[in-house]
Amino acid sequence: MNPEELTFLLPPATLAGLADAWLREDCPSLNYAALVTGAASSQAALWAKSPGVLAGRPFFDAIFAQLNCQVSWSFPEGSKLVPVVKVAEVRGPAHCLLLGERVALNMLARCSGVASAAAAAVEIARGTGWAGHVAGTRKTTPGFRLVEKYGLLVGGAAPHRYDLGGLLMVKDNHIVAAGSVEKAIRGARRAASFTLKVEVECSSLREAVEAAQAGADLVLLAAGALDFSLKLFSEGATPVPYARLS
């Protein structure tokens, strides 16, 4: 997918809400520094000083839109930046530029970092002949999940589930609580809508086969399960339609 088209995934109201929350977090009361700079019309330049993938333009724009500033970009979303290069210019009242500066830079650096790491992982995977998906997890930074999931997409990776409602994942603790893999999956199937897939975390070949036979849609090969996961893939004996190695 064209990275520029990914902007359509982000509802304007959501972007505005996030930008407002970030700005309020950074300046919840009095902005004394505004008295130093005043409201003179000014401009600032955004420079890339490290190589990477540019990601986060919609969030950056939303932050400065809250502050009545205008952003002009020199590169499209998803561009591979080679330093040192000017990426954008921002124009507006001086005190507004400085109020949004740190918030916008923090967000853009985070999103671009995730996109750059994702792009590198996808490139390595493709270089080995891997034809499956490279996906992220729900282990995101609180308050930045949408930014980081979006960064994965810009980098060419899959976001996996966005939240607990996007996929019913049965992990080791669920299996222990239920009493067995089969009982855990049976309970998951009762709870899940017919549109919701069930993924089961397995730490052995026996568990993977048991999960598949019990009706799992996906098998998550847990950390430390490299030996049996390689066996599954090398022999083409994957016991489910699709197995994801984590």
Is 80 marked active-site?
no
Least confident of 68-77, 129-138, 227-236: 227-236
Q: pLDDT tens, 48-75?
A: 999 999 999 999 999 999 999 999 999 9
Give the pair of three-digit tokens for residue 150.
């979006």
Catalytic residue of the set 139, 171, 183, 231: 139
Average pLDDT of 7-14?
96
pTM for the full predicted model: 0.87
Reported as a pLDDT band with limits 50, 70 and 90, residue 228 is low
Q: pLDDT tens, 74-129?
A: 999 999 999 999 999 999 999 999 999 999 999 999 999 999 999 999 999 999 98
CA 38 to chain centre: 37
Q: Quote the mean pLDDT of the chain.
A: 89
Q: Distance between CA atoms of 72 and 79, rounded to whole angstroms? A: 15
Does the pLDDT value for residue 196 go beyond 50? yes
Q: Distance between CA atoms of 113 and 108, rounded to whole angstroms? A: 8
DSSP state of 82: -
Handedness of CA 65, 69, 70, 73 (dihedral sign): negative
Give the pair of three-digit tokens for residue 22.
């970030």
Give the pair of three-digit tokens for residue 50.
């490290």
Q: What angle do helix axes 145-154 and 57-65 make, rounded to 10 degrees?
A: 140
Does the pLDDT value for residue 241 go beyond 70? no
